[in-house]
């Protein structure tokens, strides 16, 4: 093989390697995030004079192709909603569900932090925080006491979904139902959670 042919072959191999590298970089995964909050309300969220309390803050991250940033945020929002719903579904266990903390190697995840410092309540127990809000703050006399739980997702395009027709929508966030028919037997709980 002549020197010129060898140089041409080397140049072609280098060009092919660079093109492959550029294609991989163009399709590389990226991640985007959304913020979320889980709230408890003493009545319908859009009622006047509604009382509410923040139960948890939730960070969501989603991965996708570099050209599909909205999909990243949609995945992050879905992780937040799944975390809030599973946190409530497993409320009687006193353990945060796996969907609410980042697992190693997981690219789409949510990470929840329960709000408030209540040394007399077990850590990681969303049910006791809810009982405290409903039975001590919202209504310190009645029992049972109804409540609603909602999660709001906040962020850029992709984090916020469009509301259904006739659905209340607060500016800057997308609200999703966790439990619209919660009920708390406060008589049995007040002595323990109202301090």
Q: How does pLDDT run across 121-171, given as a tens digit for each residue? A: 877 789 999 999 999 999 888 888 999 999 999 988 778 876 555 444 444
Q: Region 27-44: what's the mean pLDDT?
A: 87
CB contact at 8 A, 110 and 194: no
Cα 56 to Cα 78, 152, 182, distances in angstroms:
16, 11, 17
pLDDT band at 5 (very low <50, low <70, confident <90, very high): low
Beta-carbon-side half-sphere exposure of residue 42 (alpha carbons within 13 Å): 18
For residue 140, give the 3-state DSSP assignment.
coil
The CA distance from 81 to 107, in Å, is: 16
Q: Is the link from the previous residue into 174 a cis peptide, with omega within 30 of 0?
A: no
The CA distance from 34 to 77, in Å, is: 6
Q: What is the pTM of this model?
A: 0.78
Summarised one tens digit per residue, pLDDT across range 59-103 is 999 998 888 878 889 999 999 999 999 999 999 988 889 999 876
For residue 35, give the 3-state DSSP assignment.
strand
């Amino acid at each position: 093989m002549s020197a010129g042919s060898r140089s041409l072959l080397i140049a072609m191999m280098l060009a092919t390697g660079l093109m492959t590298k550029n294609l991989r970089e163009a399709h590389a995964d990226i991640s985007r995030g959304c913020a979320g909050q889980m709230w408890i309300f003493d009545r319908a969220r859009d009622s006047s004079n509604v009382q509410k309390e923040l139960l948890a803050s939730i960070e969501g991250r989603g991965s996708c192709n570099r050209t599909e940033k909205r999909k990243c945020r949609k995945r992050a929002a879905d992780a937040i909603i799944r975390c809030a719903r599973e946190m409530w579904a497993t409320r009687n266990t006193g353990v945060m569900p796996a969907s609410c903390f980042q697992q190693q190697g997981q690219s789409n995840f949510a990470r929840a932090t329960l709000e408030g410092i209540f040394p007399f309540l077990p850590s990681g127990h969303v049910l006791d925080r809810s009982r405290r809000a409903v039975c001590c703050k919202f209504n310190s006399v009645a029992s049972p006491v109804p409540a609603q739980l909602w999660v709001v997702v906040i962020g850029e395009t992709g984090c916020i979904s469009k509301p259904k027709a006739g659905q209340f929508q607060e500016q800057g966030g997308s609200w999703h139902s966790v439990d619209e028919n919660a009920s708390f037997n406060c008589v049995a709980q007040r002595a323990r959670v109202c301090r």
